[in-house]
Structure 1
Amino acid sequence: MPRTPDLSASQLSEVIEMALSDHVGFSLIEQQHGLSPDEVKNLMRTHLKPASYKIWRKRVRDFGERREHYK
């Protein structure tokens, strides 16, 4: 299981906002915050409501199948 990152409230908010954006990939989040895709997914699972997390994961998967470099 991925580690839980030690982020300030503002960093946590920024990572969540970036992850929810359709225009920001996991690579940019990793570059700016040092979090792997698995760590971002774990963070989102922890901080979003279960239904919101499922919708987000479905959107990421669906877009990932359509776009080579999405998330």
Structure 2
Amino acid sequence: MSKISELDSETIDRVIEMAWEDRTPFIAIEMQYGLSEKAVIALMRREMKASSFKMWRKRVSGRKTKHIRQRDFLVGRFKSANQN
């Protein structure tokens, strides 16, 4: 498991980018970088301005696509029933 203090700035930037992406679940970040959801939240809190962090937390809290157990689908992209 990676510790936040061991991450280089390039990796931190990538983790932040993945955390901001709506379709990237926390489990993907954990598998790739060894950071749990709690560790990602701590990293975001440390690296972002307070207002940006609050906005991000409000957005991802309870978001189905960020939490694999809440997703309606497991693999691939969501496709609307209205699409061909």
Q: What is the TM-score when the length of structure 2 is the normalising length?
A: 0.70
Partner of 1:45: 45
Shift of 1:58: 0.5
For 1:41 and 1:17, locate their aligned partners in 2 and report how far apart those are by CA, in whole Å. 13
Task: Name the % identity.
Answer: 40
State the distance in 2 between where 1:20 and 1:5 align.
20
Report the 3-state secondary structure (helix = DSSP H, G, I; strand = E; otherwise coil) of the residue aligned with 2:6: coil
Letter in 2 for 1:46: R
Distance, in Å, in 2 between the alignment partners of 1:29 and 1:47 is 16
In structure 2, do the counterparts of structure 1 residues 58 and 25 end up closer, same or farther at CA, with 3 Å as the change threshold?
A: same
- Structure in which a larger fraction of residues adopt helix: 1
Query: Unaligned 5+ residue runs, structure 1?
Result: none
Shift of 1:62: 4.5
Give the match's secondary structure for 1:24: coil
Shift of 1:4: 3.4
Within 1, Cα distance between the matches of 2:59 and 2:24? 13
Q: Which residue of 1 aligns with 2:74?
A: none
Name stretches of at least 5 consecutive residues in structure 2 with no aligned partner: 72-84
Question: Which residue is equivalent to 2:21?
Answer: 21
- Matched to 1:37, the amino acid is E
- Aligned-pair distance for 1:22? 0.5
